[in-house]
Amino acid sequence: MEETFKARYIDPMIDWSFKRLFGSEVNKDILIEFLKVIFPEFDIEDITYLPSEQLGIMEKDRRAVFDVICRASDGKEFLVEVQRGAQEHFFERALYYTSFPILKQGKKAMEREEGDPKRPWNFRLDGVFFLGVLNYKHLDDDRIEHRYWLREGTTGETMTDKLKFVFVEVAKFNKTEDELTTDLDKWLYMLKNLSDLLERPAALRDKIFKRIFDVAEISSLDDEDKKNYINNMQTARDTYNQLEYAKKKGREERREEGLKEGLKKLKEVRKEFEKELFIPGDKEGMNVELDKAIRLYDFITMGELVAYDALNRNESCGGHFREEYQTEEGEAKRDDENYFYVACWEYQGSDEKEPVLLKEPLVYEAIKVQTRNYKS
């Protein structure tokens, strides 16, 4: 427990810490100042926090739980999400999340219209703005900040300024204290380095950063907050370690030993399937469950076939990647001299017998065969 608190300040990129700094009423001045830096085009003087759990229009609709959602005094709504680990569809998640406050605005407007039919809703909306604070590299470029909104495809003319998305990739920020020049630089430096600092840097002497350092000091937490912080931090570490282990196992399984082990397990699964399978339904007429079982068996035997082929092909090419066969830069290392053919595996009459490899040489007449360079 003591080892956990070698740091002086909490890690702001952990969910609990982020909500403590940016999502609590007593600290709303911190969120206001942060939003002013991210959205300098808006005059944000005050905010009201909204419920973090948002329900859909219908009872069966999926709900959304935001890290922070608030409404400015002029009606604009801001959603702030911190994402510690990589998520493939985070942009789509952001789009989905913004639909909740938009639909809620429409629902309220229609309810007002029912009470006063002479003032029908004209579909006017207050703005909804999404801020994603990412602790990983989501986009393959060097830019830290990316802004998106609806525009005409040819002229670039803005369709509406009522929906915007801003993504800030904290993981890409590498400036030192001496290199901080803008307000955004200071915030990013704080977000990335706060838990590693023992003293308040000279570059972060603004009043708002004094507030942040006071709120973030671990010694100021009560016992319940310390417990919550430890649990959240441990969850974050466990998730990270699990992902790293999964990556390691994935690399191992793409080697010869891993493929052999995988092939062995596939055979065991197939035998268990053949022995333990129970198919409900009637033998008379069409049995959908039987059809499903046959298809599943096909997938299992197809998996064995893919493993045989991957084990035989001692190279990396296209969708086939073997850890042992890659360049120093991690690119696929082809072996056209020995594997320039299409593989066809001949069934030997029994699933217990290994299939026999038949080769069909590749012949290109119209194009030149060359190794792709994915970095140029």
* Mean pLDDT for back-to-back runs of 10 residues, the chain (376 residues): 68 91 94 97 94 61 76 94 85 92 84 71 87 92 94 93 96 95 97 93 94 93 87 74 62 76 89 86 77 87 90 85 83 88 91 91 86 61
- Quote the CA–CA distance of 203 and 207 in Å, as a whole number: 12
**pLDDT for 118:** 66
29-43 burial code (b ≥16 CB/10 A, e <16): ebbbbbbeebbeeee
The answer to whether the CB of 63 falls within 8 A of the CB of 33 is no
Q: What is the pLDDT at residue 1?
A: 42
Rg (CA), the chain: 28
Task: List, in order of start, the domains of the chain with CATH numbers.
Answer: 3-247 (no CATH), 254-361 (1.20.58.100)
Residue 342's H or E segment, with its range, is strand 341-346
What is the distance between the alpha carbons of residues 261 and 188, in angstroms, rounded to a whole number? Answer: 45
Short-list 50, 45, 40, 64, CA closest to 147 = 40
Q: Tokens 């973090």 appear where?
A: 52
Q: How much is the pLDDT for 59?
A: 47
Which runs of consecutive H residues, i.e. helices, occur in 86-206? 90-115, 183-193
